[in-house]
Amino acid sequence: MKILVPIKQVPDTATQVRVAADARAIESAGITWIISPYDEFAVEEALRIKEKRGQGEVVAVSLGPDRVKEALRSCLAMGADRAIHVNDPAFADADTLTTARALAAVIKQEAPQLAIFGRQAIDDDMGALPAQVAELLGWPSLYWIMEEAIAADGASIRAGRQVEGGLEVFEASLPCVLAAQKGLNEPRYPTLKGIMGAKKKEIKDLKAADLGIAPEPPQLSVARLESLPPRPPGRVIGGDVHEAVRELVRALREEAKAI
């Protein structure tokens, strides 16, 4: 079974994000880049499916500039068989729909039985791609998946997601799109052998033209990024305890309207 895993490279969760001078992007200097953690669940699940079935191919895909190769190399170190890097300045301003079209074009070329996404990227938190790609392909999509089991004949899948107070289990025919939720698995660390083997695996570079698409101007663009206003300073209520408590209760009730 061939499984395609689209991944996104995002700033490390520990990054202190600053808005860039043009207020439309974040300052990228000094950022450590990682694979979006939900996408790591997706890579891990794809590897487990392949291992369980004893055969198959896991292909990691990403769209982005040169630095994205490092994230793809990490997927290869984890165990993905090969990678595809859609690297074209024409995608520099891509919105989610443009990205979805590019990924759908890759998926049409590769014809996998399964595309596993993370449920959302942890930088912009859009969470739109799995549904948009599924829509473009006419495939079913299963969101926020916590568990999955593929039928022995590889024709269908049962997948469950957590809903309030329980698990909702779906059945869908393959091919389909899955979006991984935290809890689906515990992603492995690459082994040293995996890291050494990653160098020998292929990362194929694709341009928009290779996918037969000409990116259109984005329909969705960032108008403006704003930093959150700094928190107002706290207030210390001093003095006699009885009066301070009375003042605290009054302030909570009348000023903060918290009680």
Contact residues: other proteins, CB under 8 A: 70, 73-74, 77, 189-193, 195-196, 198-199
Q: How far is the CB of 93 from other proteins (least distance, A)?
A: 29
Helix, strand, coil in percent for the chain, rounding step 5: 30, 25, 45
If the CB atoms of residues 190 and 215 are measured against other proteins, the closer one turns out to be 190
Q: How far is the CB of 89 from other proteins (least distance, A)?
A: 23
The whole-angstrom separation of Cα 2 and Cα 114 is: 7
CA distance from start to end of the chain: 58
DSSP element (H, E) containing 14: none
Alpha helices by DSSP H, listed for 84-173, are 96-110, 129-137
Q: How far is the CB of 187 from other proteins (least distance, A)?
A: 10
Q: How far is the CB of 73 from other proteins (least distance, A)?
A: 6
If the CB atoms of residues 77 and 180 are measured against other proteins, the closer one turns out to be 77
Degrees to nearest 5, angle at CA 220 with 216 and 223: 125
If the CB atoms of residues 104 and 198 are measured against other proteins, the closer one turns out to be 198
If the CB atoms of residues 199 and 231 are measured against other proteins, the closer one turns out to be 199
The whole-angstrom separation of Cα 7 and Cα 85 is: 10
If the CB atoms of residues 212 and 234 are measured against other proteins, the closer one turns out to be 234
Virtual torsion, Cα 48, 53, 55, 56, nearest 10 deg:
-60
Q: How far is the CB of 77 from other proteins (least distance, A)?
A: 6
